[in-house]
């Protein structure tokens, strides 16, 4: 899971860097408006990449999963209004 998300994040950020560098390296000689448009697209990519990189997968642990510390889990369950059934 993590490797795939890291790979997607790396691809998106590499694309962002490519757009930004190409916009001001050679596209600006053809059209300044196109260079600005490329920069606007490059500006949108980092927040999208961050959302994708931090997205929870179906097998990922999340904040509501037990931590393994019985005292801490009991305390959090009490705060959340959950009661564990003691056997």
* pLDDT band at residue 75 under the 50/70/90 scheme: confident
Distances (CA, A) of 85 to 16, 71, 75, 76: 51, 15, 14, 15
Is the pTM here over 0.75, yes or no?
Answer: no
Alpha carbon distance 20, 14 (integer Å) = 10
Q: What confidence tens digit (pLDDT) does each residue in 10-68 have? A: 999 999 999 999 999 999 999 999 999 999 999 999 999 999 888 877 666 566 666 77
| Per-residue confidence (pLDDT) for residue 72, from 0 to 100 | 78
CB-CB neighbours of 19 under 10 Å: 19
């Amino acid at each position: 899971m993590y490797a795939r998300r890291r790979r997607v994040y790396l691809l998106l950020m590499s694309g962002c860097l490519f757009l930004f560098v190409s916009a001001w390296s050679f596209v600006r000689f053809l059209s300044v408006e196109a260079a600005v448009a490329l920069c606007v697209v490059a500006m949108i990519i980092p927040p999208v990449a961050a959302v994708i990189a931090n997205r929870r997968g179906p097998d990922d642990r999340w904040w509501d999963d037990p931590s393994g510390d019985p005292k801490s889990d009991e305390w959090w369950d009490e705060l959340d209004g959950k009661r564990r059934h003691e056997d």
